[in-house]
Amino acid sequence: MALPGAPAPAPAAAPVPPPPPTVLMAVRAGLARPSRLPPLPAAAALRLQLSVEPEAGGQRRFRLGLRHPEAAGGANVAEYDLKDISYKVRSPTCHELTVLGSSDEPMVFNFEEEREAQKWWTIVSSSLREVQKASDSTLASQASSLPAAAGGVSADQDPEAALSLELSEKEDLALHLAQAIEYGDEEVASQCAVALARQQATLSILLKESNYPTDDISMKVGVEDATSSASITIRVRAHTTIATLKQQVFQDYGFHPLVQRWIIGQCLCVDERTVSSYGIRKDGDTAFLYLLSAKMAELTEQRYEEDQAQVMLSSTSSLTDAAGERRKYNTLPNMSPKKGWGNEAGRKMDIGEISQHLDTLQIGDLFSAQPKPAATSLPSPVPTGWSCPKCTFINKPTRPGCEMCSTDRPEDYVVPGSYKPDETELWRMQQEQEGILQYQQALEAERLKNFQQLLQLEEEVLVPNREVLECRICYQRVAPGEGVLLRECLHNFCRECLRQVINYSEEPEVACPFRDDSYACSSHLQEREIRALVSPEEYRRFLERSLVLAERRSQNSFHCKTTDCRGWCIYEDSVNEFRCPICQALNCLLCKAIHEGKNCRQYQDDLQVQAQNDSAARQTNDMLQTLVQIGEAMHCPTCLIIVQKKDGCDWIRCTVCQTEICWVTKGPRWGPGGPGDTSGGCRCNVNGQRCHPRCQNCH
């Protein structure tokens, strides 16, 4: 009894009726009549019907029903749960159904058309896989809930349990990582990331939808294939990925994701990125959808039908709770008057209507057996232009590159002679010509500027370095302007190192000092560079050394015999005397001596008599012969005087004829051509070989 003043109990709410089952597909098939089924009319065919209905816990129940034809009343003959039957394909037009746990013979269905039987099997096989997945998930949850004492095993003994534990730990770490990043805890986020990296866990890190604006966006989409174009409008959100967008178009219009190529902001979109990352942020933003042929996308008929069946199955889960929520992301196509589109404002276009305006439907190219709806208007003419090999966009004939993705025009394409560009294209072509002219003018101005800079550098004595460099001799850092760029080889060195190279050079031409393990520069410093790098006194000494070296390397040279005189000459065979222009002494070229007042015979007789009566001269001659015999002295291979090496390397020079000598081979260092001629001499270091086993490799 209710207390006085208490409100009356509310009437019990009426139970909510369960939603009706959704019919996935129905086909006609003949049945080999088993005795347990009620008799059927003669020559009658059954209607096979596959349906799905939601159950508690988010599960779905698939049922296969056998019904009379509509003409016979459509009554239900039998109905089976998919988990209780076995369904097999015996031939392209013959299927077999067996009830599990029953002793009855299998039921055999015969289909009139092979294509219809294949579609039916695609839907049934997809549903059977869904049932199997749900069954496996239920068994796994039941097994995990059993205690260890009831027959369960520990994770140490069962590999599956160990794997499950490892996955659980990885999920916890990933969850903690996401929470740490969300709360800004860098230390915890770092620890979780390190732990996941050590386990080499495969992650997919995406921003939550809460990070994006929640407003719907009306995105304009230009749809094109190889021959036609159309325009539609799709409602998306900022967090919609390109992959989701492809699935949305596949579900609403029937274009498979493999044939879709999305271009937004002249970028070929990838599946993982969102539309907002490509610039879709407000109503009216434009995207382009290019449709490839099924052959080009390598899309088979079986793949298309299986994926379409999967989409159909997945869409049934939203019929009971979220059908309206999903539909608000798929809006009516935007009619383009110039394309001849005409449909009602409150109705979404179907695949048939789009195929009328996209003259050759891409999927229909492969599945030509399916009948197409008749077009209500004449097909649009094939546009003039070249098709982009990358994105298939039809460009104007005169465009050098694709307007969408900037791909170059095919080289074998020829602009039709009868083509007349419109005003917009003429303006673009004029802008291109003006741009080319401006580019040529800028290029010519840059060339003139570079030429003037080269002339200015040519007038300068030394070319300074413009950037910081490291001298390859002293390995010191050289600031801009403090180094020198050699003109002949463009190698950089500091000024002081080059000055030292000039002062210690024994050659009249100073070689570039650049050396490394595989290359030695063969260029030389110019005369003006040498004069600018050294002081006047150093330059005078350099010239004197050059003159001395020139005298040494001249075959018919003769130096004045006056002590400390620098005079010398180059004589001819017909000349026997040389008057020194410095000391004015008369030198005999035959006797190699000064003997004014005597002829050559008189001078040589006096010299022999003097040597016979001089004991000191004899002792000196005997000592030199002994040194030659023991190997501490040798005869010059050119003038035959005795030369001796006191210390140092194996390279020596005769003090009389200035011949360069190899000490270990007792022969000339170079061939007849002089320094650098390896056709003769000791040939040291030619092909990496030393000239003698005792060679010190120092010449």
Active site residues: 649
Secondary structure string (H, E, C) spanning 586-655: EEECCCCECCCCCCHHHHHHHHHHHHHCCHHHHHHHHHHHHHHHHCCEEECCCCCCEEECCCCCCEEECC
Cα dihedral 641, 647, 653, 654 in deg (nearest 10)? -10
For 276-327, strand residue ranges (E) read 286-291
CA atoms within 13 A on the CB side of 227: 14
What are the CA-CA distances from residue 260 to residues 40, 271, 292 (Å)? 48, 11, 7
8 A C-beta contact, residue 502 and residue 530 = yes
Q: Please give the single-letter amino acid code of residue 227.
A: T
Count of residues making up the chain: 699
Q: What are phi and psi of 472, to 5 degrees?
A: -75, 0
Please say whether the beta carbons of 587 and 563 come within 8 A: no
Contacts of 591 (CB under 8 A, 6+ apart): 600, 603, 604
Dist. CA 182–CA 123, nearest whole Å: 43
Amino acid letter for position 684: C
For residue 50, give the nearest of 118, 121, 102 by alpha carbon. Answer: 121
The CB density around residue 291, as the number of other CB atoms within 10 Å, is 25
Q: Helix or strand or coil: residue 230?
A: strand
Dump the DSSP string for 193-207: HHHHHHTT-------
Token digits for 309? 């069946």
**CA atoms of 529 and 464, how far apart (whole Å):** 11
Task: Tokens for 132, please give them.
Answer: 């199997």
Q: How many CB atoms lie within 10 A of CB 244?
A: 16
Inter-axis angle of helices 114-145 and 301-316, nearest 10: 50
CA–CA gap between residue 73 and residue 59 (Å, rounded): 32
Written as six digits, the tokens of 263 are 């271009």
Alpha-carbon distance 385 to 492, whole Å? 56
Longest dimension (CA), the chain: 171
Rounded to whole angstroms, the Cα distance separating 287 from 393 reads: 13
Q: Are 599 and 591 in contact, with CB atoms under 8 Å apart?
A: no
- Beta-strand pair 260-264/286-291: antiparallel
CB 391 within 8 A of CB 406: no
- C-alpha–C-alpha distance, residues 290 and 406, integer Å: 15
- Within 422-517, residue ranges assigned H as helices are 423-459, 495-503
Interior/surface letters 629-646, b for 16+ CB within 10 angstroms, e for the rest: eeeebbebbeeeeebeee
